Amino acid sequence: MNSAPVTGWITEVQRFSIHDGPGIRTTVFFKGCPLRCWWCHNPETQDGGPELAFTASKCIACGECVKVCPQRQGPDGDTRDISINRAKCTVCGACAQACPASAREIVGREVGIDEVIREVDRDRPFYRQSGGGMTLSGGEPLLQADFAIGLLQAAKTISLHTCIETCAQVPPDVLDRALPLVDLFLCDFKETDCQRHRNWTGQGNDRILANLRHLHAAGANMRLRCPVIPGLNDRDDHFAGIAALARELSGIEGVELMPYHQLGESKMERFGITARPGISAKAPELEVLRGWIDDLTSRGVRVLNCPA
Amino acid sequence: MHYLCAAYVLTPSPSKRPIMATTGLLHPENRTRLLEVLRELGEWAALGFYEAIDLPRPRAYGRAFLRLYENMAILVPEGRLLIPCEPLPHSRTMESHREWFATSLIMNFHHHFGFHILPEIAQQKKVDFPRHVAVIDAVVEDLGKRLVQFGGYTHSNPDMRRVVGEGFLAMQRELDQQIAAVDREVEQAVPGERHLLAALKDYSDGVLALHRRTVAALRDAAAGRPELRPIADALAHGFLHPAQTFLQGFLAVNFAWMLDGCDSIGRPDQVLGALYERDLASGAIKPELARRLLDELYLSFERLNGWNLQIGGRTPDGHDGTNALTLECIDACKRNRIRRPNVAFRITGQTPDTAIIRALEALREGSGRPALYNDDLYIQTLCEMDLGLSSEDARELGFGGCTETMIAGLSNVGSLEGEINLAKALELALHDGYDLVARRQAGPHTGRFTDFGDFNDFLGAVRRQIQFLTDRFVVSISAQLRRRFEEGDPKLYRTMFTRDCVKRRKSFEAGGARYNWSVVSYQGMANLIDSLAAIHSCVFQNRTILAADLMAALAADFQGYEFTRQRLLGAPKFGNDIAEVDNLGREVIEFAWRELYAHEPPRGGRYLASCILFSTYAEAGRGVGATPDGRKALTPLADSAGPFSGRDRRGPTAMLSSVTTLPLDLGVGTPVVNIRLQRQLLDQPEGLQKIVSLIRGYFAKGGMQIQISVISKNEMLAAQREPEKHGDLIVRIGGYSEYFTRLSGSLQESVIERTEHGTT
């Protein structure tokens, strides 16, 4: 029984992550997500496979990309037009390889567990000093369940602290497999109202809520991470919902508020993704955020971060 | 260090005009008349110098100090408590090269140059004293020949432990005992020793005169400013005798620092910390007064071009030395947003996190101080270096100037003797020994680049050029240093205030200090490493660039070769924790540094490698043509031992991991590493704690030193103009961290705006 080694698709292994759990951490960003949130700040992780990114500011307009593109019928094509026809593009990567300025890049690579763990392990002295470790994020790590579980097992073998950031829109049995291997679950809770949740993310929140209750019942260490999107979920009833959920899941460490920021927009440009309707939001004002923190605190919820 | 050029600016060019009428003035028969004129000119040092001009050489230097300190004006400016506040009267800073000097004296004094002539002041005095023009010209010409400057630059930390713990009278007693011993030895005594000791006797009598006169000036001034009375009383006792209070000790340190010409002061928190804590507890000193004195001291450092002070670190018996005064020295960095003193915070395994956080809070204010040092690794490395150090003395390690490693109060460290440019070695290897900028054959023929069969052949050529530059450097600096020890200023002030010089009856310059070594700085490390990695990957491994094309691109400074340059820029770079690049770096840097260790400095001890560039990396690049890392000709080289600016793109842990791959312990002269952090990373308690972990993790991996600068708006604006140079700039957006240059234009604007809010 010689099974093939488990591999997975990721965008990057990011060192010195200091907002994804305790201490200094290394975060593995998985590709592929069951949700399509309008405010997504990592749009390059939504699709499960490789994608072609183009950074206009790096391009020196040398035309090498067009010369090698199989969709442009060989080297005789017009090299002045260097725009990407994403409808035709097969993400073969020839142009990215030819680009001398790294203006074209393939984002997303298939990696093995050992390769990732070796990279993660390089910052061990910093984890030891800070109480940090490895965080799986994305995308939705548990969408690639075997790979995620394999990484967590490997991390535990070398005694690393583990976190997973999950949207919880996953089969409960996958959560059960992860449970004994995860020191801290960072669970997104984006919207209380199921219909709004479906409208803005593509899925309702009933399964998510069920999974959060399930994790809690199973004794998982948890934090709720709640994005604050001005004009969408910054409503009294939603914060009341967060407070109610936090009180119900009495064993959680607390709530982290994640203020919306425009990082996703600039990434969308690079991936040729059209911006979502209804998102013209600016980052919430600091004062407003502090107001919501006070609001939650007055409802008996422990807010863990102080956004600045 | 990098104001080395000042030595040559200050050295007068001998006048070519023959002065027949005045040569007679310097004749011994006219000595009395000459001395009268010098007295009238207020040239006190020259007066003493010519008084003893016919005695054996060091005597003239001793007499110069004696007359200077007996006569020079002592100023007690309004509002200042910390007196004296200048080492010579009417001093000011020369804006051109930021050296301090006194406007009142042609024969001037400076900690490194010793006595020297300032021609611009001679010009002024000729205007003020038209009847003495001939004498002034003759003296300037004559002293110009006698007070010659040689190569190398020396910073020092006077023996403040002894000044505070024993007092100057005890030091003078030791001198008297040596003089008596030499007198008893009559026959066997080495004549030079007797003359040196006699010169030191004049010097120390001068010091006592200056001390007496300073106390008197303070008492006079106290008639109108009663706050000066306790200062006068404390100085009257303190400097001469063991300090009994913090105030006495602090004033004694300041007085000795003035005598040394305001270089560095060693470990004030260790020398004075116990007195401070005791006086604080008894109420004998109020923290407000201590802070005012510290602020005045820092201001003096800034104004007088003073250099370094060290805080924290191991005590001689091995405990962590952090105390209340350590924290006050840190907070003074926070209050005073000025560039000096360079404050070196020695962090041990037992330094409390709270003290490091205080340091980070000071750094957050943007003055770049204190710099942080891995104390335990420094001590261990110095002990293993075969420098003859006892562990007690190794724990007294300190830094002079920028950060040249020495032993406070116990050492003479050439700092810096000079620099070796590794980017230049690379250039020579690429062009068969030909210097593209100087346009001449500067190194040995090591082969044409297009003829190298594989990468290792080329690496061999690089090694030979490094070897060549090292040999050439050592030969030239050794010759200069030998002349300096024999013909230069014997530095009586340092001989008196550096331990063992008097006991050994040897001047500071001649090797009297307990420990002698020399620090040499290496330039262009990351440019060499990145270039080797690019050549390895593009020319030999992936063959995406032809050897001939690379040569053509470099010769053309990439004009018309932007495609080639982009390929080179795309090759893996140092600072990203990429094993193949970093290992290549370790191999070649270790070779370069071991080459240096194969040579012995003329004063004994060792040459210590370092990488101390600070602002000079721009200057160093002006002599180097285009390099295969994509750097254009004559542009700045890499900043110290860190990656080339903007090329570390995988965050601080990866950058620091790359740096620790280098044999940093061999670079114990100090391998400087700069890291830039965004202010908001240090704004919250948990952020501060994570940066503490980052520093401790770096030290655990073998990091020696780190300097943190906090991002300013100007840097972000520069990052917008030239994003390729600022790829490492980390900013926080919302609750996340991201690289500034990865953000879209509008987002960058919003971050810049927000930071502005944060800092106002």
Beta strand pairing call for B308-312 and B342-347: parallel
pLDDT in the model for residue B4: 35
Question: For residue range B45-70, what is the model confidence (pLDDT) as tens digits?
Answer: 999 999 999 999 999 999 999 999 99
Does ipTM top 0.85? Answer: yes
pLDDT in the model for residue B417: 84
In B, minimum Cα distance to A123 occurs at: B653
Query: To the nearest whole angstrom, how far is the Cα of A6 from the nearest Cα of chain B?
Result: 24
Which of A18, A60, A130 is the closest to B566 by Cβ? Answer: A60
Question: For residue range B525-562, what is the model confidence (pLDDT) as tens digits?
Answer: 999 999 999 999 999 999 999 999 999 999 999 999 99
Which of B657, B693, B732 is the closest to A130 by Cβ? Answer: B693
- Mutation site for A-interface testing, chosen from B353, B374, B561, B566 by largest number of A Cβ within 10 Å: B566
What's the average model confidence in pLDDT over B220-243?
A: 97
Complete edge-to-edge strand list for the sheet that includes strand B154-155:
B154-155, B411-421, B515-523, B607-610
A19 with B733: Cβ contact below 8 A: no
Q: Which residues on chain B are in Cβ contact (under 8 Å) with A131?
A: 693
Q: Residue A70 — pLDDT band, cuts 50, 70, 90? A: confident
Q: How many CB atoms lie within 10 A of CB B8?
A: 10
What's the average model confidence in pLDDT over A63-69?
A: 87
Q: Which residues contact A57 (CB under 8 A, 6 or more apart)?
A: B723
pTM of the complete model? 0.90
Which ranges of A131-179 does DSSP label H, i.e. alpha helix?
145-157, 172-178
Whether A56 contacts chain B with CB within 8 A: no
Cα B238 to Cα A101, B69, B80, B231, distances in angstroms: 66, 19, 19, 10
The single-letter code of the amino acid at B268 is P
pLDDT in the model for residue B213: 98
pLDDT in the model for residue B17: 41
A126 with B693: Cβ contact below 8 A: yes
Phi, psi of B451 (to 5 degrees): -95, -10
The domain ranges of chain A are 7-48+111-298, 56-107
Cα A21 to Cα A134, A215, A219, B247, distances in angstroms: 9, 18, 18, 49
Question: For residue range B412-437, what is the model confidence (pLDDT) as tens digits?
Answer: 998 888 899 999 999 999 999 999 89
Torsion angle defined by CA atoms of residues B183, B189, B195 and B196, in that order, rounded to the nearest 10 degrees: -100
A16 with B654: Cβ contact below 8 A: yes
pLDDT exceeds cutoff 90 at B201:
yes
pLDDT exceeds cutoff 90 at B716:
no
Determine contact, residues A110/A5, Cβ cutoff 8 Å: no
Burial annotation B59-86 (CB, 10 A radius, 16+ → b, else e): bbbbbbbbbbbbbbebebeeebbbbbbb
CATH fold for domain A7-48+111-298? TIM Barrel (3.20.20)
B99: number of CA atoms within 13 Å, CB side? 22
3-state class of A8 per DSSP? strand
What's the average model confidence in pLDDT over B481-504?
A: 93
Q: Tell me which residue of B641, B633, B637 sits closest to B618, measured CA to CA.
A: B637
B657 with A123: Cβ contact below 8 A: yes
In B, minimum Cα distance to A226 occurs at: B735
In A, minimum Cα distance to B755 occurs at: A308
What's the average model confidence in pLDDT over B565-581?
A: 95
* Whole-number Å distance between alpha carbons of B127 and B137: 12
What's the average model confidence in pLDDT over A254-268?
A: 84
Whether A118 contacts chain B with CB within 8 A: no
Determine contact, residues B534/B647, Cβ cutoff 8 Å: no
B128: buried, middle or exposed (CB in 10 Å: 19+, 13-18, 0-12)?
A: exposed
Which of A101, A122, A129 is the closest to B657 by Cβ? Answer: A122
How many degrees, rounded to 5, is the angle at CA B434 between CA B433 and CA B440? 130
pLDDT exceeds cutoff 50 at A186:
yes
B723 with A126: Cβ contact below 8 A: no
What's the average model confidence in pLDDT over B347-372?
A: 92
Burial annotation A214-234 (CB, 10 A radius, 16+ → b, else e): ebbeeebebbbbbbbbbebbb
Which of A19, A24, A266 is the closest to B694 by Cβ? Answer: A24
pLDDT in the model for residue B418: 86
pLDDT exceeds cutoff 90 at A220:
yes
Interface of A with B in 207-266 (CB under 8 A): 256-263, 265-266
pLDDT in the model for residue B675: 85
pLDDT in the model for residue B617: 61
Question: For residue range B646-659, what is the model confidence (pLDDT) as tens digits?
Answer: 788 888 999 999 99
3-state class of A301 per DSSP? coil
* Whole-number Å distance between alpha carbons of B695 and B677: 13
Phi, psi of B276 (to 5 degrees): -65, -50
Q: Tell me which residue of B473, B507, B471, B470 sits closest to B488, measured CA to CA.
A: B507
A59: buried, middle or exposed (CB in 10 Å: 19+, 13-18, 0-12)?
A: middle
3-state class of B561 per DSSP? coil
What CATH architecture does domain A56-107 belong to?
Answer: 2-Layer Sandwich (3.30)
Q: How many CB atoms lie within 10 A of CB B145?
A: 10
B697 with A23: Cβ contact below 8 A: no
Q: How many CB atoms lie within 10 A of CB A5?
A: 8
A129 with B734: Cβ contact below 8 A: no
* Whole-number Å distance between alpha carbons of B384 and B180: 39
- Mutation site for A-interface testing, chosen from B577, B690, B692 by largest number of A Cβ within 10 Å: B690
Query: To the nearest whole angstrom, how far is the Cα of A49 from the nearest Cα of chain B?
Result: 22
pLDDT in the model for residue B677: 84
Whether A18 contacts chain B with CB within 8 A: yes
Determine contact, residues A186/A225, Cβ cutoff 8 Å: yes
Of the two residues B194 and B16, the one the predictor is more confident about is B194
Determine contact, residues B69/B217, Cβ cutoff 8 Å: no
Instruction: Assess whether the previous peptide bond of B312 is cis (omega < 30° from 0).
Output: no
- pLDDT above 70 as % of chain B: 92
A24 with B746: Cβ contact below 8 A: no
A263 with B736: Cβ contact below 8 A: yes
Q: Give the DSSP letter of residue B542.
A: S
3-state class of A166 per DSSP? strand
Q: Given CA atoms B366, B369, B375, B379 in this order, what sign does their dihedral have?
A: positive
What's the average model confidence in pLDDT over B513-520?
A: 94
Query: To the nearest whole angstrom, how far is the Cα of B258 from the nearest Cα of chain A?
Result: 43
Q: Give the DSSP letter of residue B523.
A: E
pLDDT in the model for residue B9: 34
What's the average model confidence in pLDDT over A14-38?
A: 94
pLDDT exceeds cutoff 80 at B317:
yes
Strand partners, A26: A134
Cα B231 to Cα B221, B240, B293, B304, B449, distances in angstroms: 11, 14, 11, 22, 69
Which of A16, A131, A260 is the closest to B651 by Cβ? Answer: A16
Q: Which residues on chain B are in Cβ contact (under 8 Å) with A23?
A: 690, 693
Cα B716 to Cα A162, B676, B748, distances in angstroms: 34, 12, 8
Rg (CA), chain B: 27
- pLDDT above 90 as % of chain B: 71
Strand partners, A306: none
The structure tokens 């004033």 sit at B251
**Mean pLDDT of all residues belonging to chain B:** 89
Please report the number of interchain residue pairs, chain A to chain B, with beta-carbon separation below 8 angstroms.
117
Cα B90 to Cα B74, B75, B82, B87, distances in angstroms: 9, 8, 16, 9
Cα A68 to Cα A98, A106, A279, B19, distances in angstroms: 7, 15, 37, 81
In B, minimum Cα distance to A228 occurs at: B734
* Whole-number Å distance between alpha carbons of B416 and B419: 8
Query: To the nearest whole angstrom, how far is the Cα of B691 from the nearest Cα of chain A?
Result: 9
Give the DSSP per-residue string, B110-153.
Answer: ETTTEEEE-HHHHHHHHHH-GGGHHHHHHHHHHHHHHS---S--
Query: To the nearest whole angstrom, how far is the Cα of B427 from the nearest Cα of chain A?
Result: 24
What's the average model confidence in pLDDT over A148-172?
A: 97
Strand partners, B311: B345
B690 with A100: Cβ contact below 8 A: no
What's the average model confidence in pLDDT over B35-50?
A: 97
A266 with B743: Cβ contact below 8 A: yes
Task: Record the tokens describing residue A282, joined without a space.
Answer: 């600016």
The domain ranges of chain B are 1-110+114-148+167-215, 414-661
B26: buried, middle or exposed (CB in 10 Å: 19+, 13-18, 0-12)?
A: middle
Q: How many CB atoms lie within 10 A of CB B299?
A: 17
pLDDT in the model for residue B95: 47
N-term to C-term CA, chain B: 36
Q: What residue ranges in A42-120 does DSSP mark as E strands?
A: 51-54, 104-107, 109-112
Burial annotation A128-156 (CB, 10 A radius, 16+ → b, else e): bbbebbbbbbbbbbbbbbebbbbbbebbb
What's the average model confidence in pLDDT over B136-149?
A: 94
Q: Residue B635 — pLDDT band, cuts 50, 70, 90? A: confident
Q: How far is CA B596 from the centre of its chain?
A: 20
pLDDT in the model for residue B141: 94
Rg (CA), chain A: 21
3-state class of B741 per DSSP? helix
B436: number of CA atoms within 13 Å, CB side? 26
Determine contact, residues B624/B557, Cβ cutoff 8 Å: no
Phi, psi of B398 (to 5 degrees): -145, -175
- Mutation site for A-interface testing, chosen from B736, B737, B742, B751 by largest number of A Cβ within 10 Å: B736
In B, minimum Cα distance to A284 occurs at: B734
Give the DSSP per-residue string, B191-226.
Answer: HHHHHHHHHHHHHHHHHHHHHHHHHHHHHHHHTT-T
pLDDT in the model for residue A3: 66
A258 with B746: Cβ contact below 8 A: no
Reported as type and span, the H/E element at residue B517 is strand B515-523
